Amino acid sequence: MLRIVTVLLLLTTYIFALDPAQQQQDQLIEPGKIIVKYKKVDSYGSVNKSAKVQLSSQYGLQAEEQIFNKAKNTEVKQLLNLNNVFEYQVSKATDIFSLANRLSKDPNVEYAEPVYINRADAEPNDPMYSSQQHLPQVSAPQAWDDQFGDSSVIIAVIDSGVDWDHEDLAGVIWSNDDEVLDGTDTDGNGYIDDIRGWDFVDGREGNGDTDAVPDEDGTDPDNDPMDFGGHGSHVAGISAAHTNNSVGIASVSSGASVMPLRIGWQANDGNGYGNSSFMAQAFIYAADNGAHVANLSYGNSGQTIIEGAFYAFLNGVLVIESAGNSNNQNPSALGFTRLDNLSSFSRPR
């Protein structure tokens, strides 16, 4: 049985987050949207309802949506206060950074931040085994002599989707055996007909630079996490493409299963982007639906992604992110946080 032992440095404060002024200068955001996490006022996770109503009225916060409403592990949700994380709509003319700064100063608010649009890491072009230099560097051939991957190990690929019909991937795509393709939520996990993962991308149609290209599915969430741009399929291939089958490439964990979770899209400006709210929800889906590993090869600005990743970690998921393509030696914002209340919590292994 394959066992993965992970050592993580867990701090009591958020670490490696970008300075807000630097984020405002460099980071793309969704106009007219903001995320607010309210402080809880008791051990049950209650919120100061009158203050919440007052802030919504004062700052024009509308169309309230609880980001982590589908998370199943109530113990972890309460521990991380995830019931009190909401996404709101405001006027598109609103200075979101300024609004987030004002809201964050309110004593009833834990944090407020934009909905970030994170750019995908650039995709290398290494289609053949002979050019996959990383495999001998990590001694993959020697590992394959001992054991290939196990289909019971599920790798959630949180990305631009996965070409689940690709000849080198079709046989390794995770199947939700508890779901029946009948137009209903058979397994009761909050997602209808999610037989092979989920497409979280919503509201990305338009002519703006960061809107989805016309031939990409950018309108509504659905049960088809197909990859249009290729980035997620590349990541899935590195992770678990068929190996030793005379097709395409070799992978590090051939034999493992890939759970496609689409959070990104190919945009009109030619780049790939992902939404921080989609990413956070994808981590929840991965944890609640049996993933053992969750990989995010995108930028990851914002505390909301950390909330989702931390939920996954506390549910026994190994969380992995890419090093990126910026030649940066520093760890990113996905460092884990705040373990001051975890003394009585037992993390699954």
Band the pLDDT of 32: cuts 50, 70, 90: very high
- pTM comes to 0.83
Alpha-carbon span 45 to 64, nearest angstrom: 18
Residue 129: the pLDDT is 57
Summarised one tens digit per residue, pLDDT across range 85-134 is 999 999 999 999 999 999 999 999 999 999 999 888 654 333 555 667 67
Lowest-confidence region among 55-69, 201-215, 298-312 = 298-312
Look up tokens 């990383």; give the residue.
Answer: 134
Mean pLDDT comparison of 87-101, 227-241, 245-259, highest-scoring range = 87-101
Alpha-carbon span 173 to 161, nearest angstrom: 12
Band the pLDDT of 298: cuts 50, 70, 90: confident
Alpha-carbon span 46 to 266, nearest angstrom: 40
Lowest-confidence region among 198-202, 279-283, 336-340, 344-348 = 336-340
Cβ atoms of residues 306 and 85 within 8 Å: no
Nearest alpha-carbon partner for 84 in 117, 118, 51, 119: 51
Q: Which helix (H) or strand (E) holds 151?
A: none
Q: Is the pLDDT of residue 152 over 80?
A: yes
Band the pLDDT of 334: cuts 50, 70, 90: low
Exposure string (b/e) for 103-132, b if CB count within 10 Å is 16 or more?
beebebbebbbbbbbbbbbebeebeeeeeb
